[in-house]
Amino acid sequence: MSQSLRVAFAGTPDFAAASLAALLESRHEVVSVHTQPDRGAGRGRKLKPSPVKALALDHDLPIHQPTTLKDAAARQALADCNADVLVVVAYGLILPQAVLDIPRLGCLNVHASLLPRWRGAAPIQRAIEAGDTRSGVTIMQMDAGLDTGDMLLVRDTPITATTTSGELHDRLATLGGKAIVEALDALSDTGLAATPQPAEGVTYATKLSKAEAELDFTRPAAELADRVRAFNPWPVAWTRLADEPLRLWLAEPAPDNGTAAAPGTLLESTPDALRIACGPDGTQVLHITRAQLPGGKPLAVRDLLNARGERFAPGQLLGQETTS
């Protein structure tokens, strides 16, 4: 007979809410939800609940919002849930060993990478930036290290030449929800074997910053295209066009130009793409297919040229500050 587990859940953003939603539709019982405190949002900085809290409110679940799990009161709140397992998804707080030891089946994490590749804060974006052709989710038995716990279940998915971080995020969120339910089902029915992570192939996904989103056109076209997709929808790759920022939403490498131009030169504005010289010697070409001028919306290049075509005269050098 199938057994049901009592599940405490800890998570905060949309990615985590997808796993909570899957658990709520499973045979397991979600007995409490831990999430980050409400944050100010919008012009008035009005406090707004996290996506996980909003979902928990819709289902009348007990909600806890400690600022740390290092104090006794926060740990007692978790212990009082009498949960069999704590599921952790993009929670945002470090779990000390005293918390990891509370549930009888421990704490399971839904991590958005194929561990041990891309441990850390931004696994989805770093996988695309590095040109990986596959990503996935790993259900991990948490320990005190940074994403170093034993693996219980892995599910993978392809990264194509057009996959953006936003698209992969949504796909992995759904995959993570299915995987954690599958893992809990197996854990309660027959048990689930844990596999230590390989010692080889470890990489770390450092947190994204706005500063790194400015493109350097001396880099190869394929690398630049990967960075544009990795930084979509945040922080969004950008360059300078006549001293104003031009945000770049979609791009692809194109066949080499054959002749050299200064990296960053706007070679041509076609209805489908802005053709930018790039690479160490300026012979490679990057096609920008979707971009955004200050005060405007992201537009396909055809629409951008129809609206503001005078801004994209061939021969301009992008990425350079002009001098008066």
Contact between 247 and 257 under an 8 Å Cβ cutoff? The reply is: no
Phi, psi dihedral angles at 57 (to 5 degrees):
-65, -40
Comparing CA positions, the residue from 189, 183, 106, 179 lying closest to residue 149 is 106
The answer to whether 113 is a known ligand-binding residue is yes
- The C-alpha atoms of residue 39 and residue 26 are separated, in whole angstroms, by 30
Helix-strand-coil split of the chain, %, nearest 5: 25, 30, 45
150-158 β-sheet, strand order: 63-64, 29-34, 6-11, 85-89, 107-111, 134-141, 150-158
- The C-alpha atoms of residue 226 and residue 163 are separated, in whole angstroms, by 9
- The C-alpha atoms of residue 258 and residue 282 are separated, in whole angstroms, by 9
The answer to whether 116 is a known ligand-binding residue is yes
Q: Diameter of the chain by CA atoms? A: 78
The answer to whether 115 is a known ligand-binding residue is yes
The answer to whether 324 is a known ligand-binding residue is no
Amino acid symbol at 13: P
Residues in a beta bridge with 140: 109, 151
In angstroms, the Cα distances linking 253 to 49, 128, 162, 237, 273 are 41, 15, 11, 15, 11
Q: Going along 22-170, which residue ranges are E strands?
A: 29-34, 39-41, 46-48, 63-64, 85-89, 107-111, 119-120, 134-141, 150-158
Comparing CA positions, the residue from 62, 106, 110 lying closest to residue 84 is 106
DSSP helix/strand/coil, 91: coil
Which residues are annotated binding-site positions?
113-116
Which residues are annotated binding-site positions for (6S)-5,6,7,8-tetrahydrofolate?
113-116
